Each structure stands twice: as structure tokens, then as C-alpha cells.
Structure 1
Amino acid sequence: MEKQQFLEKFEELKSPANAERWAVLRLWIIEAKSDGEIAKALDKDRSTATRKIGEICKHFGTDAKGKKEQRQHLVLLFRKYCKDFEVHPSIYPDWVDGNSSDRPQPPTPQNISTAPVTDNLAIPSDQEELEIDGSISSWVSEKSYNKFIARDFDLKKLIEYTENGISSKVLSIWGMGGLGKTATCHRLISLLYHQKRFKKIVWINAKRKQFQTSDGKSEKIRESRLEIQDAILGIGKELNLDAWFVQDIDRLQHEISKLFMQESHLLIVDGLEDAESPKLLISHLRRILGKSSLFLTSRKQISLESGFEYRLSELDRQASYTFIQQMILEKCADDQAIGQQISQNIEKVITATHGMPLAMKLLVSQAKFLGLERVLERLNSVTDEEDFYSYLYWEVYQELCKGNQIEVLKILIFLSNQSSLSTPQSWLYDFDDINKKEIDDAIKIMYRLSLIEVSKYDKEDRQINLHSFTAQYFRETLKIKLS
């Protein structure tokens, strides 16, 4: 497209008659929002946002098929003919200031490692074990990724903020589920801790917890959201403050504030969207920070009054390629054939997973179990990220049923109903009707399918971790689907 033709189409799109398309374009290119986020921002359904994106692409004459390719094509046009139009930095790499021929091509897929599989569960070998005050900190015990990759740009920006703007005390990492917000936060604070920027890391979760209640006739599940008092108690526990402070929340908060004022600590609230009142909680914690800082992860934008908000976006195609190759090495080491099949179809896998790390991990892990071609064909028609995960989890559930893997399902549902997303492995051995070998075998199956992750909790016990999507599906969605 020539410059004059592009500018004419650009001005046409800005006209009042195209106000809705113009709003979608700005959200899609300037703010790098997904279809679902655009729909919420404009109070429309997702299909409307997707259709408008298609209309915009057609308006500018792009013939790219996938949404990521369409967006990158538009980015190239804007960077070439209209550099004043602000493009979100997360959706274009350095090469877009040139022409499309500058685009780097993905490397040729390498042969997949065929490392032998032992009888032991293949737990990642580089888990950090940082002992603090005689115990392992929660942020270390909950670390469930192996090799952290594909977020170098994001880490660079986040580290720059901590070096240049940490005086504002508060940093928020936000974005839709399955993008790796918690893993990115883990990696960031690990780097900062090893630089001795903080005396101690204090990690608490705002994840919704389940508990049993009784109305005299039946047992029911209720949800509990993190409140200010819960947060203060959690911080006190992480700081190993005397137990008697629990009897007096005001005194406990005073002692926490004293520590935060004396030395620089880093407080993290993971999953802030599940707090009872996120803004009220932030405001309260900000008042006791002293010399310390507060990091947050959330699926929703918080709109901080002061602080730095960083939106984590989907991975671009090159980063997706790198991430998938790493997943193949981790998950397909014992099956060269399926690893090669995924590598040969890697472009289709990238397109189907829409730059979402959790989606890539699940698809690679479950490719053999579910059948790669069948899964890819089905996922081509899935546009909503929640539908994507629901489809994979439902297919896994059906295959486990067909294989009579009752123990696996029983343990998975048990884990999903725990009050925390992390459960000590030793707790599983309390089942009366499942022996230790069956439990160990079930853990291996769930780990290979990426239904769980396993990390070191202490030197003798392992921690079984679930992603919140997995827990929610097997705790709530599956029950509704089967009812």
C-alpha cells in the first residue's frame, strides 16, 4: 500500500461514521488489548470486537490470516507511514522500523532431546532454595517454572522501573490469565533479591479460598476473599513475628510497620483481583511500607493513584517459538516422535495458542495424550481464552475416564478443592483407598500433562501446585458441566 492511499484510509477511519472501529483500533494497537479486553472496555460482546478487528484489517488491505499477523502487518504500516501514531511497544520488535523483509525467520527446528526417563518424577533441577530465617520463603516454595524464557523485554522494563522509579513504592503487573504474571514476578524478585536490593521477600496470595460450612442439613462450599486483616496476618507469618501478636491485629501491624521502616523489604500480593477490595487493600498497605516496596499481580488493571502499572501481553511469534521449543525439551524428552510432530506443526501451534504461555505448555504436554492434529483442528474455531482452556481440560477429563484413571481424577479434584493452590505432597498419602504407589503414579501423570507443577517446599517434602485456571475448572466448571 502506498503512503497516500494509507493516509486516506487512516483519515477515513477517524471519521465520526467509523467511531467504533476507531476505538477498537486504538485499543488494539495503542494499548495492545486482546479481543476480550476490547469487548469489556467498549461494553460489547467478544464476537463484536473480533468482527471489528477483521473489518479494520480489511479496510487497510491486510491479507494476513492470524490475528497476531494481522496486528503486526498494521504495525508495519503505521510505523512506515504514520510514526506519530503511538504503537504499544510490547507488540512490535525492533525490526518493524524497516520493511517486512527485515523480519527475522524462526530457526530450523532442532532434533528433540531423547534424555532417558528415570523412575523418579522429573522435577526441574534448577529450583532455587533460598533459606531465610531458617525456613524456605513462600515465594521460593511456590516457584513452579523450570527455565524462565521469552520475557526478556518485560523484565528489562520492570527492572528499569525498579532502578529509576522505585520511590513511588508500588508496582503492578497485570494482564489476562495464563500469561505468566506470577512467573514473571518470581523471576523479577529473584533478580532483585540476588542484587541484595531487599532484606527479605514477603509473599502473600489473594487467591480465593474455599471452606466448608454447614446449614444443619448439608455441607456447602463458600468462598473467602483476602481482606486487610488476612493480609496483615499473612505478612506477620512471613516475617516470623511472635504468635501472640495474632491476638492483637493493631499491635501486629505496628510491628510490621516498624520492620518495614527499619529496612527495605519487598511485599508481594499475588492475584490481587481476588481481594475483597483491591484498592482499599493497596491504600492500607501503602501506609505501612516505610522504606519497603509493594509489588502486585492482577488479571485486572488497578489504576493506581501513584506507582507503575505494567501490562503483560501475549508473546509474539518469535518468543512463542522459543517458549514452545523449551516446552518440547521439557515435556517430550521421552518421546522423540511427538516432539518432532509438534516441531513440524509449530506454526499451527503458535497460531492456535495466541501467545499464551499456559496454553502452549498445556498443548505440548497433552499433544500425545489427546492427539495433536485433532486438538489443533478443534482449537482453530476457539476464540475465547477461557473456552480454550475449558476444551483442553474437558478432553483430558474424558481421556482419563476412558483410561480408568480414577485415582488421578480423585487426587486432582482433591487438590482443586484445597484452600490454597499449593499442597504438600505428603498430604496426599492420607487417602484411605489409594496406596502410596498409586498416588506417586498419579502425580507423575498429572505432572506430564501439566495439570500440576511440583516444587520443593522443604528439604524432605515437595509442594504440589495448581494454576488457578486448572483449580477453577476441576472445582467448579467440571461440576456444572456434569450436572
Structure 2
Amino acid sequence: MDLAEISPSSIEASLKALRSGNPPHGGLFALVEGIRSPEEKRLVIEDLLINTITDTYLQMRKVEGLKSALPANRQQTLAQIFEDFSTKNSDLQAWCCLYYRYLSPIDLSVEEISQAACVVPQHLRRRINQGLALLTQTLRRRALQNHSQVAAVTQHLPTPEYTQLVGVQSYTSLLLRLFKDPEGPRMVSLEGMGGIGKTAVARAFVSLPENVALWQKVLWVSARQTLLAEDGQLTRSPDASATLEDISARLAEQMGLAALAGKPVQERLEGLRAALFQNRCLVVVDNLETIEEYQQLIPALARMAGSSRFLITTRQTLRQYPFVHTLPIQELPVQSAYELISAEMTRRGQPGSLASRDFAELYRVIGGLPLAIKLVAAQLKLHSLNEILAGFRSAQAGTDGLYRFLYWKTWQSLREPAKQLLLSFLAANPEGEDLEFLSIMSGQSQQDFYTAMQELDAFSLLETNTDHEPTLYRLHRLTVTFLQTDILNLWSGDSTDERTQSG
């Protein structure tokens, strides 16, 4: 959010546009962050301007002991302007000028307003400028307040797994309808194979302003990745959420019920049930298939719903539970997939290097898996499309084989410092770390570290959270899985050589 975009000039341009039926100035889009539809942005901004000016103007008249009502005709309008300027309240005069210059249904020229106010046009201009300054302050405070409220509600959300989203609006719109409906399902599951974008859809949806407005809190729990210990052994993350006890403890902490987190699990569940019945919360359980006892977890969570709702992402279908609304996430259609790979290639400085007819052949091989498309976009900077297609055809069939091939090709393309840095991420916080921490953890010189970071980013191996200050970096879960199962096993002698793995 850039408050500097909300300025007297952008506000006046929007008010003039409002009078002529044109869209508002783009600078005011900072007031409607998260709203995608241009028409919806326009309506929200217009309503905000009209309501803020009108309500404040009438309130200022009330403070001065004047009638808090708008005039019904031209004669009453001119009389009310005279009345406002007869007071010594310059703020009332400023709001009066904004209303009658830009919003009043009675069309008045600058000369008419000046004559009614008994001032010269130059003085009227000063009062208009004063009004624009007051309105700017009001709208900036409103934007900050909204931003703070959103931050408070969404403080437990993880780092987004995307820089650009394609093909998710139909899912987020449906989720919004389901959760807005008082009679809607208490539990919804987003289902699909790994890398298809379940978490991305969930993360995009829960951060929508329209969704945030529905809840007092948005909670997010997920099974944590294992960590790489100093002795080279894979160990469980200390704050893993892989059991019903883990999940309930994390939920209690995020609800601000620290004392409850230390209670026995059944007592904790009862306390959570009472809290979730009293408060409207949206609870996201990400990567359900990695959680032990999930078949016991689902009914336990359902009993806690009350005024709250649950959103689940999983590779395992939950169709066996009649109280769960299942929503399968499909692969991107060919056009959306082409938009994604084009955007990824443009981001890497190679726009227009893949014709749509060539992509059609690639799509027949890899389908519309977003993660696979991003990895292929990185490979196209080093290899021709024919080379990549030949590699796919010789690789093991199936989705696992597809990802394994892509990751091996990427691994083999990395220089040694980038490989070492990639492995060091296994010891990082799965929610992300900042550059300073990663640099220290890598043990590399500054030059090697930043060069390696750029290399990992070029191959789509990094996910960034630019909303956080400072920016956080982490790996996609499937990247972590590849490092743990293929690379570490290779080094320990439990895997075949790289030539065989890469197809």
C-alpha cells in the first residue's frame, strides 16, 4: 500500500471523473487493495468519496448548530452555501466547497458558488484545496486502519507460494459464495495432486478483503517439513503439526489461548470448541495428507465449527465425509497455462520466445500443472524445447516422474555454490527466512551467496514473501521433498547415479 498515491491531486481528478461518469484516478486504487474487478474498484471508490464528503459535511453543519440535511432545490442550495460561509468555521467551508463543487445534484458554476458564499473565486479555490487536504488525511487514515485490521486478522498466514496467479478466480469466487452463505458447508476441501496449486488457491482466497471482512481471525496450520540437523540427519521440526494434538495446540496458540495449549488434548479440544463457537474464525488446515490420524482429525474439527468454518487442502479426497464440501482443483486449461509460462519467461527476460503452437506440444506432455510450468520456463533459458520434450518422453511416466525429471535437470544445471545454498534451506524455517539469516546460515561469501540466490531464483526454486518486511525466502514443498529423497539419498549411497535419475 502506497499512501503517497492517495493525494489531493488524485482525489480531485477522481471527483472530476465522477462528475463526468469516468473511472477514478488510478492513485486511489490503494484504497481497494485486493479487489480484482475494475468495475468493482470503481464503484467502491466512488461510494467512498461520496459518503465521506457528504457525511462529513453534514456532521460539520451539525457541530455548528445548523440543520443537518441537504437542500432540495437551487434556492435552498444557494442559501445553505451562504449559511456555511457565514460561520467562521473554515473546515465547514472546505467541506461545503467539495460537496457543492463536485457532488451536488444541483449544478452550480464556480461563479455561482462564489457569489452565494460572498467570496472571490480565488478564496473559493483556497477552500477547495483545504477540503482536498482534509479528505486526503481522512482517506489515508481509513486506508491505514483497513490495512491494520487486515494484518491483525491474517497475521498467521504463511508466505505466499506465488508471484503471479493464473486461473484461480473461479475457485476463489466459489469459496467466497460458500463461506458467505449462512447455510453453507462448515468444511470445504481443496483436492488435487501435488504442485497443482491447492495451497496457492487457499492462500489467495483467505487474503481477499471480501473474505477477511467475514472473520474475526484467520488461522492457518500445516504439517511442517523435516529439518536437516548439523550432523546431517533429517529430524522433525520442533513445531511440526502432524497429529490431532499438534493441530489443536497450534490452533490454541493462534487463538491467543496459551494456557489452553498446555492442557490435555481432550480438554484443549473442548476449550477450542467453545472459542470457535463464540468467534467467527476461518481455519485453514494445509497438507492434510501429511498429518497423522487425519481420519480422526476431520470429525474432531467438524465438532468445533460452531460460528467458524474450515478450509482444507489435501491430496486425499474427503468425499467419504458427508459434511465436507469437496472442491477438486483442476489443471490449468491450455490458454491459462500459456499465459503462465509466458509471464514466467518474461520475468526471466526472454519474452515471446515460445510460440503458442509450440506450447501446445509441451502442454500435451506436461499438462497444466503450475509448478511444472514454472520449472519448464526456467529450463527454457538453457535448453531448447525439443531437448526438454525428448527428456520428458524418456523419463518415468506419471506426475512423480515428471517432477523428478525436472528437478534433476535443474539440479544438474546449478553451480556448486547454488547447490550448497539450496541444501542449506533444509535447515531454514519452512515459513521463510530473510537474506541476512540465509547468508549467515549458508556460510558463503557475500558475493557467492548473492550470486547463488540469483541463480536459485532464475530456476524458480525460490518463493518470496514481499509483503513481509524484510522479504522472506523459502522453498516449495516439492523442492524440499526432492532434496530429501533424491539428493541426500544419492550422497548416502541410497540412490542411483545422476545420469540414470535424469532420464
TM bin, normalised by shorter chain, reads: 0.5 to 0.7
Measured at CA, do residues 171 and 443 of structure 1 come closer, stay the same or move farther in structure 2, by a change above 3 Å?
Answer: same
CA distance in 1, matches of 2:277, 2:153: 23
The structure whose Rg is larger is 2
Partner of 2:421: 411
CA distance in 2, matches of 1:241, 1:413: 36
% identical aligned pairs: 19
Partner of 1:276: 292
Partner of 1:476: 485
- Residue type of the partner of 1:247? G
CA distance in 1, matches of 2:150, 2:248: 20
CA distance in 1, matches of 2:185, 2:417: 50
Whether 1:438 and 2:438 are equivalent positions in the alignment is no
Query: Which TM-score applies when normalising by structure 1?
Result: 0.63
Measured at CA, do residues 287 and 428 of structure 1 come closer, stay the same or move farther in structure 2, by a change above 3 Å?
Answer: same
Partner of 1:314: 331
Measured at CA, do residues 372 and 272 of structure 1 come closer, stay the same or move farther in structure 2, by a change above 3 Å?
Answer: same
Q: 2:195 aligns with which of 159, 162, 178?
A: 178
- Residue type of the partner of 1:462? T
Whether 1:420 and 2:436 are equivalent positions in the alignment is no
Partner of 2:250: 234
User: Is the Cα–Cα contact under 8 Å of residues 170 and 308 in structure 1 kept in the other structure?
Assistant: yes
Whether 1:297 and 2:278 are equivalent positions in the alignment is no
CA distance in 2, matches of 1:181, 1:307: 16
Tell me by how many angstroms 1:377 deviates.
Answer: 2.1
Partner of 1:138: 156
Whether 1:162 and 2:166 are equivalent positions in the alignment is no
SS at match of 2:382: helix
CA distance in 1, matches of 2:180, 2:366: 34
CA distance in 1, matches of 2:287, 2:200: 12
Measured at CA, do residues 165 and 247 of structure 1 come closer, stay the same or move farther in structure 2, by a change above 3 Å?
Answer: closer
Q: Deviations over 1:336-359 (max 9, x none)?
A: 4xx424656222232232111111
Q: Deviations over 1:129-171 (max 9, x none)?
A: 87667696232x4113123221333334433433447543100
CA distance in 2, matches of 1:354, 1:241: 45
Measured at CA, do residues 249 and 314 of structure 1 come closer, stay the same or move farther in structure 2, by a change above 3 Å?
Answer: same
Q: 1:347 aligns with which of 353, 360, 374?
A: 360
Tell me by how many angstroms 1:176 deviates.
Answer: 0.5
Measured at CA, do residues 458 and 158 of structure 1 come closer, stay the same or move farther in structure 2, by a change above 3 Å?
Answer: closer
1:188-207 alignment, distance < 5 Å: 188-191=205-208, 193-194=210-211, 196-207=213-224
Partner of 2:476: 467
User: How many residues are aligned here?
Assistant: 341
Give the aligned CA root-mean-square deviation in angstroms: 2.9
Measured at CA, do residues 391 and 232 of structure 1 come closer, stay the same or move farther in structure 2, by a change above 3 Å?
Answer: same
Partner of 2:261: 246
User: Is the Cα–Cα contact under 8 Å of residues 163 and 464 in structure 2 kept in the other structure?
Assistant: no
Partner of 1:389: 403
CA distance in 1, matches of 2:153, 2:434: 15
Tell me by how many angstroms 1:194 deviates.
Answer: 4.3
Q: Deviations over 1:196-255 (max 9, x none)?
A: 111111011124434759xxxx8743456611111122112323334x443324565454
Tell me by how many angstroms 1:421 deviates.
Answer: 5.6
Gaps of 5+ in 1: 1-127
User: Is the Cα–Cα contact under 8 Å of residues 198 and 329 in structure 2 kept in the other structure?
Assistant: yes
Whether 1:429 and 2:446 are equivalent positions in the alignment is no
Q: Deviations over 1:351-406 (max 9, x none)?
A: 23211111111101221134433112222344311111111111121122xxxx22
User: Is the Cα–Cα contact under 8 Å of residues 154 and 217 in structure 2 kept in the other structure?
Assistant: no
- Residue type of the partner of 1:430? I
Partner of 1:357: 370
